[in-house]
Amino acid sequence: MSTEVNHCSAHHVVIIGGGFGGLYAAHHLRKAPVKVTLVDKRNFHLFQPLLYQVATGGLSPGDISSPLRAVLAPNKNTKVLMAEVSDLDPQQQTIKFKDTELAYDTLIIATGVSHHYFGKDQWAEKAPGLKTVEDALEIRRRIFFAFEAAEKETDPEKRRAWLTFVLVGGGPTGVELAGTLAELAYSTLKNDFRDIDTSETKILLLEGMERVLPPYPPELSAKAKASLEGLGVTVETSSLVTDIEDNLVSIRQGDQVKKISAQTILWAAGMKASKMGRVLSERTGVELDRAGRVIVQPDLSIAKYPNIFVVGDLANFPHQDENGKPLPGVAPVAMQEAKYVAKLVNKQLRGETLPPFHYSDYGSLAVIGRHAAVVDLGFVKFSGFPAWFAWIFIHIFFLIEFDNKLLVLIQWGWNYFTRKRGARLITNQEEQPNLGVEQKSNPPTPVKV
C-alpha cells in the first residue's frame, strides 16, 4: 500500500538515470513519505545483460526494454521525467535542464558508464561498443551486412576480411558476443548462403590480460576459454590492440606485432564514466577515479554533500575490503546500492541512520554459447550446461516485466531448439551502405543520463 504524500511539502528525492540503480532506488522508495522524480533521457529501462542478444539477432529491442512510466505507474509517489540533465547546483539544490530546472532535497545519481577507447576516440566509428539499443542495432547491422557482403565478394582475400570478426575485450560482453557469433556463423546461417561457406568465418577474441574473464577465478577463465575454442572461436590473451585503421587491427603480443584484416571489429573493452561524474566533480569538488567514476563515502553519499548519492556503475565504492578495489560495475551492485540509499533516506527522515553500505557478493556468471556458461557463486563454481541453465533462469528472473519474461523465454526456447535467430534485420542503412563512414548511429561520445 502506498502512503499518500503531500506533493507540495514532501521531501523530494530526485533520481537521475533509469537503469538498475535508478529504477531500484525508486522501487524501494515507493512507500516512503517522500515524493520521487525519476529523470532519464530515454523513456525506457534497458536490460543491458541481454543487449548482446539484440546485437546478434536473437531478441528485439522491445523484448529487453520496459517503458519507465509503465513500470513506475503503480508508484503513486513517483513521477517520471524524460529529460537530459545538463548541470547541477548543489548549493541551491537544483538540477538543470536545457531551459528549466528542478529542485531536490535528496539527489541520487545513477547515470552509469559508457565505453572508453583509451583516448583513441577515432576508433569508436571503426569498432562500435555495446551500451545502448542503438549500439546493438548498429552492431547487428554490421554483423549481418558482413555476411551479405562476403556472399557478393569475388576476391578471396576481401571475402576473408568480410568473414573475419575481431572482438576487442575478453570480459563478459566480449565472451558472450564471441560465443553467440560462433553459433551464428557455424549453425544458424550454415544453409542460408550459396556462394560462401559460413563455417570459414574466423572469430577472434582479444584480451589484454593473460586470461579471459579476468575478474573470475582462474579455473573458470580456463573453462570459458576451452568452451569458446570448442565453439570455434580463436582466443588470444595478452594481446593489446595498438591501432585500428579501416578494416585493419594492429595487435602487440609480447614483442611481436601483427596486423589482422577484418571488416567487422567490435569493442568490448574499456569503460568511461558518464558525463554526470565530471559535472558533479566540478560543482562539488568530489574526487573522481581515473575512469571518471565518483569516489563515494561509506554511505554512498559524496564528500561534503550528505544529500547527494551516487549508485551503480558511476560510483567507485572503495571501502569493501582492505585493498580498496572498487566494486565491479554489475547489476547486483547497482541494485544493492540503490536499496541501501532508499533505506538510508527513509531512516534519515526519522532522524535515524544506518551502518555503512556492505555489498553481498552472490557470485558472477557469464554465458558462452548455446549451452555453456560459467558460474561462480563463491561457495560453488560450475560451468557447462548447468551454468547455462542457471544463467538463463537468473536473467529471466530479473527482467522487469512479466510479459518480457514470457517473450524472452519463448524466443530462447525457440532459438535453442531451432538454432534460428529471427530478429536479424539490417536497418537504418544508407542507400548503399558504406561501413567506413557511418556516423549517426555510432556517436563518438555517448552520454547516458
Number of H helices, E strands in the chain: 12, 25
Provide the 3-class DSSP secondary structure of residue 319: coil
Within 10 angstroms of residue 267's Cβ, the number of other Cβ atoms is 25
Q: Least distance in Å: CB of 80 to its own copies?
A: 8
Q: What backbone phi and psi angles, to 5 degrees, belong to 132?
A: -115, 170
Query: Considering the rule CB under 8 A, would residue 101 count as an interface residue with its own copies?
Result: no
Q: Cβ closer to its own copies: 361 or 401?
A: 401
Query: Considering the rule CB under 8 A, would residue 194 count as an interface residue with its own copies?
Result: yes
Q: Least distance in Å: CB of 428 to its own copies?
A: 6
Contact partners, residue 282, CB within 8 Å, separation at least 6: none
Q: Least distance in Å: CB of 449 to its own copies?
A: 10
Distance CA 395, CA 50 (A): 8
Q: Least distance in Å: CB of 405 to its own copies?
A: 11
Q: Cβ closer to its own copies: 57 or 292?
A: 57
Query: Considering the rule CB under 8 A, would residue 427 count as an interface residue with its own copies?
Result: yes
Among 210, 304, 425, 436, binds its own copies (CB under 8 A): 425
Q: Cβ closer to its own copies: 191 or 360?
A: 191
Query: Considering the rule CB under 8 A, would residue 426 count as an interface residue with its own copies?
Result: yes
Among 371, 401, 405, 416, binds its own copies (CB under 8 A): 401
Catalytic residue IDs: 176
Distance CA 255, CA 252 (A): 7
With CB under 8 A, what is the number of residues at the site for its own copies? Answer: 60
Q: Cβ closer to its own copies: 67 or 214?
A: 67
Query: Considering the rule CB under 8 A, would residue 404 count as an interface residue with its own copies?
Result: yes
Contact partners, residue 21, CB within 8 Å, separation at least 6: 108, 110, 112, 311, 312, 313, 314, 334, 335, 337, 338
Among 6, 98, 254, 255, binds its own copies (CB under 8 A): 98
Which range binds its own copies by CB under 8 A, 234-242, 295-303, 385-393, 401-409? 401-409
Query: Considering the rule CB under 8 A, would residue 200 count as an interface residue with its own copies?
Result: no
User: Do residues 237 and 207 make contact, with C-beta atoms less than 8 angstroms apart?
Assistant: yes
Query: Considering the rule CB under 8 A, would residue 62 count as an interface residue with its own copies?
Result: yes
Q: Cβ closer to its own copies: 152 or 259?
A: 152
Distance CA 258, CA 240 (A): 10
DSSP secondary structure string for all residues of 376-409: E-SS-EEEEHHHHHHHHHHHHHH-SSHHHHHHHH
Q: Cβ closer to its own copies: 80 or 95?
A: 80
User: Do residues 9 and 319 make contact, with C-beta atoms less than 8 angstroms apart?
Assistant: no
Residues 393-403 as b or e (16 or more Cβ within 10 Å = b): eebbeebbeee
Identify which of 155, 235, 156, 150 has the alpha carbon closest to the alpha carbon of residue 185: 150
Q: Cβ closer to its own copies: 192 or 219?
A: 192
Q: Least distance in Å: CB of 48 to its own copies?
A: 14
Query: Considering the rule CB under 8 A, would residue 134 count as an interface residue with its own copies?
Result: yes
- Whole-Å CA distances, 59 to 50, 62, 65, 113, 448: 8, 8, 11, 23, 22
Which range binds its own copies by CB under 8 A, 41-49, 111-119, 176-184, 210-218? 41-49
Give the x/- contact pattern for its own copies in 63-92, rule: CB under 8 A. x-xxx-xx--xx----xxxxxx--------
Q: Cβ closer to its own copies: 27 or 319?
A: 27
User: How far, rounded to the nearest angstrom, does the alpha carbon of residue 402 sit from its chain's CA centroid?
Assistant: 21
User: Do residues 394 and 335 make contact, with C-beta atoms less than 8 angstroms apart?
Assistant: no
Q: Least distance in Å: CB of 30 to its own copies?
A: 14
User: Do residues 298 and 305 make contact, with C-beta atoms less than 8 angstroms apart?
Assistant: no
Which range binds its own copies by CB under 8 A, 58-66, 157-165, 216-224, 308-316? 58-66
Among 5, 31, 60, 416, binds its own copies (CB under 8 A): 60
Contact partners, residue 422, CB within 8 Å, separation at least 6: 57, 411, 414, 415
Number of residues assigned to the chain: 449
Catalog residues that contact its own copies under the rule CB under 8 A: 41-44, 57, 59-63, 65-67, 69-70, 73-74, 79-84, 98, 133-134, 137, 144-145, 148, 151-152, 189, 191-195, 401, 403-404, 406-407, 410-411, 414, 418, 420, 422-428, 431-432, 440-441, 447
